[in-house]
């Protein structure tokens, strides 16, 4: 019965691919880039540019950095979709992506990802600088080869170390303006590093059955919810403490540490509450991990808005 169902599903997908309109195909290619991920990455790039410029950076430079960064992130996501197309077909959260629906072939997606990577490097190298282009290319390669191909299906620490790729936009935003690295973007790099596990594990807790079904050892798959909650709390404390380091390291005004402290306190309260719910019950409906997931997006967004506003408010 399973074979028959799978065959019927494949036939339906094939028919759907034949009937796909140009609009469907364009939407599928856009979907390969995971636009929501790109938004999040750019959110940590542009504010850092404001901070590095100690004001408003040159518009042309911002546009070039945003375009180059978006192309790079889209390329990495497309490569990820190609490599993970086997498990994406089986997971509820991902089965509507372009490759599982057979709207785009794996070969076409691979070419698309490569073209985006080349364009990203060219844009950043020509209109930003070679350091930013190199960092962007390194982040792309790290996400594809280290996270997607090496870590994701092998270890519970996949997102901890694989998440390093998502920290690079802070470095890229800084180097785009200054042309060199410094301790300030490293602090922000670490903030994103410690933020990634709570953010991702909350989502993985919501979809732990999906990950278990495809043998991806995300922490919520191999550990009880209470332990996941404990790990989330530990990383959350490290994240908030690191965020406050920007004050002495970069010499910010009072505005940034005040905003970071308030935002951090609210996030820690939410993380502890989820841990408490996880200790009381293992049922997803009781734990409500998506509440923390959405809170993590809001936290990072507002924290980096504070990074951008701090130099503007003290000029």
What is the model's pLDDT at position 12?
44
DSSP H or E segment with residue 7 = helix 2-19
Q: How many CA atoms lie within 13 A of 159 on its CB side?
A: 21
Computed from CA positions of residues 252, 181, 265, 55, in that sequence, does the dihedral angle turn out positive or negative?
positive
Q: Same domain, yes or no, for 189 and 175?
A: no
Q: What is the mean pLDDT of the chain?
A: 91
Say whether both 163 and 243 belong to one domain.
no
What's the token pair of residue 87? 């498990």
State the Cα angle at 256 between 255 and 259, rounded to 5°: 85
Listing DSSP states for 17-51 in one string gives HHH--HHHHHHHHHHHT-HHHHHHHHHTTHHHHHH
pTM for the whole thing? 0.91
| 188 and 300 together in one domain | yes
Identify the pLDDT of residue 91. 86
Last residue of a domain, one of 180, 204, 227: 180
pLDDT of 16 strictly over 70: no
Q: For residue 20, name the pLDDT band (cuts at 50, 70, 90).
A: low
Q: Does residue 4 lie in a domain region?
A: no
Is a pLDDT exceeding 70 seen at residue 315? no
Does the residue 288 lie in any domain? yes
Strand ranges (E), the chain: none
CATH number assigned to the domain comprising residue 76: 1.10.357.140
Q: Is residue 232 part of a domain?
A: yes
Are residues 119 and 198 both part of a single domain? no
- Domain-embedded: residue 19: yes
Domain co-membership, 220 together with 293: yes
| Residue that the structure tokens 């993590």 belong to | 296
Q: Are residues 73 and 148 located together in one domain of the fold?
A: yes
**Residue 310 pLDDT exceeds 90:** yes
Q: What does the pLDDT look like over 165-196, one tens digit per residue?
A: 999 999 999 999 999 999 999 999 999 999 99
- Same domain, residue pair 110 and 247: no
pLDDT of residue 14: 46
94 pLDDT higher than 50: yes
Segment among 60-64, 253-257, 281-285 with least mean pLDDT: 281-285
Q: Is the pLDDT of residue 27 over 60?
A: yes
Winning range, highest mean pLDDT, from 92-101, 123-132, 210-219: 123-132
Alpha-carbon Rg for the chain, nearest whole angstrom, is 20
In a domain? residue 140: yes
Our count of domains for the chain comes to: 2
Token readout for 78 is: 């497309």
Q: Is residue 2 part of a domain?
A: no
- 214 within domain boundaries: yes
134 with 42, same domain: the answer is yes
User: What confidence tier does 9 reach under pLDDT thresholds 50, 70, 90?
Assistant: very low
290-303 b/e with 16+ CB inside 10 Å = b? eebbebbeebbbbb
Q: Residue 1 falls within a domain, yes or no?
A: no
CA distance 96 to 91: 9
Q: Which long-range contacts (CB under 8 A, 24 or more apart) does 88-95 make?
A: 90/210, 90/213, 90/214, 91/207, 91/210, 91/211, 91/213, 91/214, 92/207, 92/210, 93/207, 93/210
- Decide which of 10 and 290 is more confident: 290
Cα separation of 288 and 93, whole Å? 17
Residues 98 and 169 in one domain: yes
Q: Are both 24 and 65 inside the same structural domain?
A: yes
pLDDT score of 15: 47
The last residue of a domain, from among 155, 180, 205: 180
| Dihedral (CA of 43, 245, 166, 229) sign | negative
Mean pLDDT to the nearest integer, 35-53: 92
Which of residues 180, 203, 238 is at a domain's end?
180
Regarding whether 267 and 257 lie in a shared domain, the answer is yes
User: In which domain, by residue range, is 244 found?
Assistant: 182-315
What is the model's pLDDT at position 37?
A: 86
pLDDT confidence tier of residue 8, bands split at 50, 70 and 90: very low
Q: Are residues 228 and 168 part of one domain?
A: no
CATH number at residue 218: 1.20.120
Give the pLDDT confidence score for residue 122 in this predicted structure.
Answer: 97
Average pLDDT for residues 132-154, to the nearest whole number? 96
Could you give the percent of the chain with pLDDT greater than 90? Answer: 80
C-alpha 292/C-alpha 274 separation (Å) is: 7
- C-alpha 259/C-alpha 306 separation (Å) is 7
């Amino acid at each position: 019965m399973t074979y028959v169902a799978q065959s019927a599903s494949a036939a339906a997908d094939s028919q759907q691919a034949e009937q796909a309109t140009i609009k469907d195909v364009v939407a599928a290619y856009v979907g390969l880039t995971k636009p929501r991920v790109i938004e999040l990455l750019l959110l940590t790039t542009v504010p850092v540019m404001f901070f590095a410029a100690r004001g408003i950076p040159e518009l042309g430079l911002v546009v070039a950095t945003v375009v180059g960064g978006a192309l790079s992130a889209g390329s990495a996501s497309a490569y990820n979709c190609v490599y993970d197309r086997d498990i994406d077909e089986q997971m509820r959260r991902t089965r509507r992506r372009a490759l599982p629906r057979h709207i785009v072939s794996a070969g076409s997606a691979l070419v698309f990802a490569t073209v985006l990577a080349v364009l990203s490097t060219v844009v950043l190298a020509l209109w930003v600088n070679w350091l930013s282009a190199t960092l962007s290319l390194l982040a792309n390669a790290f996400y594809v080869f280290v996270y997607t191909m090496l870590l994701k299906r092998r270890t519970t620490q996949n997102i901890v170390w694989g998440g390093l790729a998502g920290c690079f936009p802070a470095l890229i935003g800084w180097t785009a303006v200054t042309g060199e690295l410094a301790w300030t973007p490293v602090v922000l790099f670490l903030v994103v590093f410690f933020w990634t596990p709570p953010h991702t594990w909350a989502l993985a807790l919501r979809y732990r059955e999906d990950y278990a079904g495809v043998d991806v050892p995300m922490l919520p798959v191999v550990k009880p919810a209470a332990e996941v909650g404990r790990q989330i709390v530990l990383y959350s404390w490290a994240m908030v403490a690191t965020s406050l380091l920007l004050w002495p390291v970069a010499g910010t005004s009072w505005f940034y540490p005040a905003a970071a402290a308030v935002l951090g306190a609210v996030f820690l309260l939410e993380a502890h509450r989820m841990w408490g719910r996880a200790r009381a019950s293992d049922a997803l409906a009781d734990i409500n991990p998506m509440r923390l997931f959405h809170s993590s997006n809001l936290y990072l967004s507002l924290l980096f808005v504070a990074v951008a506003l701090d130099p503007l408010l003290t000029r």
